[in-house]
C-alpha cells in the first residue's frame, strides 16, 4: 500500500501493508478494484479493538479491495505457510470473541435487560442456532482459504472453481438448518440427504452449477481428510460418491422442486432475470391473476391444467455478490412479492430469501 491510506471502517493506518492480488473486480462506478490478500507481517498490526470491529460487523480481515492508484509493486515477505498460520490464529480469536459476545449482543438487541429471565425455551434455541451459524461461517471461511491452495482445488476447471464458495456455503447452511448439524458434527447420513435431495430441490441454478457441485464436494471432503480437519471425512466422501448423478438428475426434474424454486424457475424459463425486481414483480402479479382465473375456470367447470416448467434452466448465478457490502448483523428492510414488508431485520435473517429471489432489498 502507498503511504497515507487509512481503513475507513477501523481507522487503521495501512501504510506499507503488503499482500498478493488474488482477484480483480469493479466498484459501483465501474472502476477496477484489486482484491489483495494480506501477508503475515501486515496481519500482525490488528489490535484487539480492531478485531472486535471485524467480529461485530462480519468483515473480511484477510483481504481488502483497493484502487490501482493506491498500490505499488513490492517484494514478497512471507511464505504461504506463515500467512496461513496467523490467519488461523486470528480466526480462532474472532471465534472466541463471538462466543463471548453474541449472547450479550442478542439480549441487548431483543430488549432483554441484564439478569432478566427468558421465559420461552425458543429464545435459547434461537440463540444457540445463531451462535452455531456464526461459528460455522468462521470455520468454513478458514477451510476455504486453505482449500484454494490445494491440488484438489486446482484439479477443478476454472468455471467449476467459480462455484466453490456458493456450493460449500449452501451445503453448510442446509446441514445446520435442515439436519441440525454444525460444521464440526457433519455426518455422512445427513450429507447424503442434503446433497441428494435438499440442495437439488431448493437451489435455483443452471445445470452447470449442479455438475460442478458433484465435482466440488468429494474434492473438498478429501481435502478435509488430508488435513485432518474432520473426523467424519471418510463418511462425507462416501456420501458425495453415492449421490453422483443424483444431484444433477434431481435438480433438473420439476417434480422434485420446492415451491420457491418452482416459482423462480418458472420465471427463468420465461426469460426473466430473478435479479430484475420490476420484472419479478410483474411475473408474480401475473401468477396471482392466473391463479384467480384458474379458480374462476374451476367454478365454471372449464379448468385448465397448469404446465410445469420443463425446459433447461437458463439462470446463471451472479458473478458478483450483490450483498457483499452488507454485514450479517446489519439491519435492513425487505419487501416480499406477496406485498409483505419486513423492516429493521438483520440481514442474516432474510439472506436466504433474498438470494432465493423471494424478496427484494428496499433499504439498508
The predicted-structure confidence for 153-177, as pLDDT tens digits, reads as follows: 999 999 999 899 999 999 999 999 8
CA dist., res. 234 & res. 326, Å (int): 36
Residue extents of the structural domains in the chain: 271-363
Q: Give the confidence band of 128 by pLDDT, cuts at 50, 70, 90.
A: low
Helix, strand, or coil (residue 189) = helix
Among 97-106, 229-238, 301-310, the least confident range:
301-310
SS3 category, 293: helix
Decide which of 323 and 194 is more confident: 194
3-state secondary structure of 342: strand
Distance CA 21, CA 24 (A): 8
Residue 281 Cα distances to 52, 286, 360, angstroms: 40, 9, 10
Cell numbers for 305: 391444467
28: pLDDT strictly greater than 80: no
pLDDT at 26 over 80: no
How would you class 1 by CB atoms within 10 Å of its CB: exposed for 0-12, middle for 13-18, buried for 19 or more? buried
CA distance 4 to 264: 47
Check pLDDT > 60 for residue 268: yes
Strand 63-67 relative to strand 19-26: parallel, antiparallel, unpaired? unpaired
Q: Answer for the pair 94, 54: CB distance below 8 angstroms, yes or no.
A: yes
Q: Is the dihedral of CA 101, 87, 143, 222 positive or negative?
A: negative
pLDDT at 264 over 60: yes
pLDDT of residue 291: 55
Return the pLDDT at 236: 96
pLDDT of 272 > 70? The answer is no
> Would the pLDDT of 231 be above 70?
yes
End-to-end Cα distance, the chain: 30
**Average per-residue pLDDT for the chain:** 77
Amino acid at each position: 500500500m502507498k503511504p497515507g491510506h487509512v481503513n475507513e471502517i477501523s481507522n487503521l493506518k495501512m501504510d506499507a501493508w503488503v499482500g498478493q492480488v488474488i482477484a480483480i473486480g469493479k466498484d459501483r462506478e465501474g472502476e477496477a478494484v484489486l482484491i489483495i490478500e494480506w501477508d503475515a507481517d501486515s496481519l500482525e498490526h490488528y489490535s484487539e479493538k480492531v478485531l472486535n470491529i471485524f467480529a461485530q460487523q462480519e468483515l473480511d480481515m484477510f483481504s481488502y479491495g483497493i484502487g490501482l492508484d493506491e498500490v505499488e509493486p513490492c517484494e514478497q515477505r512471507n511464505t504461504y505457510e506463515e500467512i496461513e498460520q496467523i490467519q488461523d490464529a486470528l480466526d480462532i480469536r474472532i471465534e472466541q470473541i463471538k462466543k463471548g459476545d453474541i449472547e450479550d449482543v442478542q439480549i441487548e438487541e431483543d430488549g432483554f435487560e441484564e439478569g432478566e429471565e427468558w421465559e420461552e425455551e425458543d429464545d435459547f434455541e434461537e440463540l444457540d442456532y445463531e451462535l452455531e451459524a456464526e461459528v460455522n461461517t468462521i470455520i468454513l471461511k478458514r477451510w476455504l482459504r486453505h482449500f484454494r491452495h490445494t491440488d484438489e482445488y486446482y484439479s477443478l476447471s476454472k468455471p467449476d472453481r467459480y462455484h466453490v464458495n456458493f456450493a460449500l456455503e449452501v451445503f453448510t447452511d442446509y446441514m445446520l438448518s435442515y439436519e441440525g448439524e454444525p460444521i464440526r458434527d457433519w455426518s455422512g447420513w445427513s450429507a447424503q440427504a442434503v446433497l441428494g435431495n435438499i440442495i437439488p430441490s431448493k437451489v435455483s441454478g443452471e445445470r452447470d452449477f449442479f455438475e460442478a457441485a458433484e465435482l466440488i464436494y468429494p474434492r473438498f471432503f478429501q481435502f478435509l481428510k488430508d488435513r485432518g480437519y474432520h473426523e467424519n471425512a471418510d463418511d462425507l466422501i462416501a456420501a458425495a460418491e453415492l449421490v453422483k448423478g443424483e444431484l444433477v438428475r434431481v435438480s433438473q426434474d420439476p417434480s422434485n422442486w420446492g415451491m420457491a424454486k418452482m416459482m423462480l424457475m418458472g420465471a427463468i424459463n420465461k426469460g426473466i432475470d430473478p435479479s430484475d425486481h420490476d420484472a419479478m414483480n410483474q411475473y408474480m402479479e401475473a401468477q396471482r391473476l392466473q391463479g384467480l382465473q384458474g379458480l374462476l375456470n374451476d367454478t365454471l367447470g372449464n379448468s385448465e391444467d397448469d404446465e410445469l416448467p420443463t425446459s433447461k434452466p437458463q439462470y446463471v448465478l451472479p458473478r458478483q455478490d450483490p450483498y457483499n457490502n452488507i454485514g450479517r448483523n446489519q439491519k435492513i428492510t425487505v419487501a416480499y412479492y406477496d406485498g409483505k414488508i419486513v423492516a429493521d431485520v438483520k440481514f442474516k435473517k432474510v439472506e436466504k430469501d433474498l438470494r432465493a429471489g423471494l424478496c427484494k432489498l428496499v433499504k439498508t
